[in-house]
């Protein structure tokens, strides 16, 4: 098969990480998978090139950029693509319009990556009224699937479910060595890691509220925030306003999040909504116990009190309480780590994900 993964942006996030893993996996199976990004800083493109994956970043910010549209169409025709898989509303809509120019021999699949409870109605309607041009939707969570059926009115029969998958091999660097590499002092404890770009739905305000509580009980606690600052400095300023700047370190975009998780005592994700977050899967693989919001697709990955502790979003005291339980209760910690490792091995490997997408693509291309 000749497959095109088409993303709205080339800035790295959870979706882009999965696109990279999927393209690499499909290429190893003998298919020809390319990655195009409509705009962005080309971070994804560079990462793909490092793995010998065909990738391009364009500069499309408006449907009226006819020259750039022609460039993209020409690049697709040159690769004789059988199927296009889009990610993000911009890529979804562009792919649906492009489908009209390329003809029905090119199949179109649109990804569903999040619940997005606060999605503006104009985006809902745009998605709803162009969705008929897509042949298939693939959601990475049942919660996301149900949200699109209910809100965008996409027929249930057109939405497949394929969970994210990761390489479950733990990194081969010892915890003490990692602490030295990341300049985490000997007496620092506990280390709490939050892996997410600094955006409102990711719960950084709640995390900082929890940091304020934890810092009173654990004088050497450290919160590491790994992610691109999309808040224009508001989240770091909030840490200063709350008086927890000495307990919070903002790392910016971090391509080595697995190292942070292997070093951490707890991983947190207090989001207000989620699909199938990669960071939780990585924590499960690295033996880092998880505290996360009981929202969206998160309960499909981890069960409360079995593989993780799940809390209500926006409740800093509840988040802090769950963190304290894990760092103080060795038996609970060990139980969560063991159960999480078994679950990620069984359900969320990159091999399982790639096989699922390969079957879905073959079915669409060959009408199986």
Per residue, what are the HEC states of 301-347? HCCECCCEEEECCCCHHHHHHHHHHHHHCHHHHHHHHHHHHHHHHHH
Average pLDDT over residues 180-189: 94
Do 2-164+350-366 and 175-347 agree at the fold level?
A: yes
Average pLDDT over residues 122-126: 94
Task: Please state which of the four CATH numbers 3.90.1150.10, 3.30.1360.120, 3.90.320.10, 3.40.50.2000 is assigned to the domain occupying 175-347.
Answer: 3.40.50.2000
Query: What local confidence, expressed as pLDDT, does residue 69 receive?
Result: 86
If you write DSSP's letter for every residue of 53-120 in order, what string do you get? --EEE----STT-HHHHHHHHHHHHHTT-SEEEEESHHHHHHHHHHHHHH-TTSEEEEEE----TT--
- Domain boundaries 2-164+350-366, CATH class: alpha beta
Query: What local confidence, expressed as pLDDT, does residue 205 receive?
Result: 97
Please tell me whether the peptide bond between 190 and the residue prior to it is cis, using omega within 30 degrees of 0: yes
pTM: 0.94
Average pLDDT over residues 294-300: 97
| Lookup: tokens for 344 | 């990620």
Contact 220, 250 (CB under 8 A): no
Residue 74: name the closest of 101, 113, 45, 48 by CA: 101
Least confident of 112-126, 219-233, 309-323: 112-126
| Lookup: tokens for 179 | 């602490």
pLDDT above 70: percentage of residues in the chain = 100
The structural domains of the chain, with segments of one domain joined by +, span: 2-164+350-366, 175-347
Residue 219: name the closest of 267, 258, 257, 185 by CA: 185
What's the rounded Cα separation, in Å, for the pair 211 and 165? 30
Please, which pLDDT band fits residue 368 given cuts at 50, 70 and 90? low
Strands of 136-139's sheet, edge to edge? 55-57, 32-37, 2-7, 83-87, 107-112, 136-139, 159-161
For residue range 139-172, list pLDDT tens digits in order: 999 999 999 999 999 999 999 999 999 999 999 9
φ, ψ dihedrals at 51, nearest 5°: -105, 15
CA 29: distance to chain centroid?
Answer: 24
């Amino acid at each position: 098969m000749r497959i095109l993964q088409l993303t709205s942006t080339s800035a790295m996030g959870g979706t882009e990480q999965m696109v990279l893993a999927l393209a690499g996996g499909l290429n190893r199976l003998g298919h020809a998978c390319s990655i195009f990004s409509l705009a962005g800083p080309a971070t994804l493109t560079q990462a793909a090139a490092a793995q010998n994956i065909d990738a391009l970043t364009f500069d499309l910010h408006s449907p009226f950029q006819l020259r750039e549209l022609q460039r993209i169409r020409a690049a697709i025709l040159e690769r004789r693509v059988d199927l296009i898989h889009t990610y993000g509303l911009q890529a979804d809509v562009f792919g649906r319009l492009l489908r009209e120019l390329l003809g029905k021999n090119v199949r179109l699949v649109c990804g569903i990556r999040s619940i997005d409870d606060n999605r503006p109605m104009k985006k809902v309607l745009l998605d709803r009224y162009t969705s008929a041009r897509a042949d298939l939707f693939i959601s990475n969570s049942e919660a996301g699937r149900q949200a699109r059926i209910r809100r965008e009115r996409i027929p249930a029969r057109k939405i497949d479910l394929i969970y994210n998958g990761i390489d479950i091999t733990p990194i081969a660097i010892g915890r003490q060595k990692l602490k030295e590499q990341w300049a985490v002092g000997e007496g620092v404890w506990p280390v709490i890691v939050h892996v997410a770009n600094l955006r409102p739905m990711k719960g950084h305000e709640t995390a900082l509220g929890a940091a304020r509580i934890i810092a009173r009980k654990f004088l050497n606690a450290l919160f590491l925030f790994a992610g691109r600052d999309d808040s224009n400095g508001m989240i770091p300023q909030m840490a200063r306003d709350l008086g927890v700047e000495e307990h919070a370190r903002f790392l910016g975009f971090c391509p080595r999040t697995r190292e942070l998780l292997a070093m951490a005592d707890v991983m947190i994700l207090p989001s207000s909504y989620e699909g199938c977050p990669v960071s939780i899967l990585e924590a499960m693989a690295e033996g880092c116990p998880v505290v996360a919001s009981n929202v969206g697709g998160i309960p499909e990955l981890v069960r409360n009190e079995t593989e993780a502790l799940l809390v209500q979003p926006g409740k800093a005291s509840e988040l802090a309480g769950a963190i304290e339980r894990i760092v103080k209760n060795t038996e609970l910690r060990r139980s969560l780590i063991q159960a999480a490792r078994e679950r990620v091995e069984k359900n969320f490997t990159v091999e399982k994900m790639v096989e699922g997408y390969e079957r879905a693509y073959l079915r669409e291309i060959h009408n199986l």
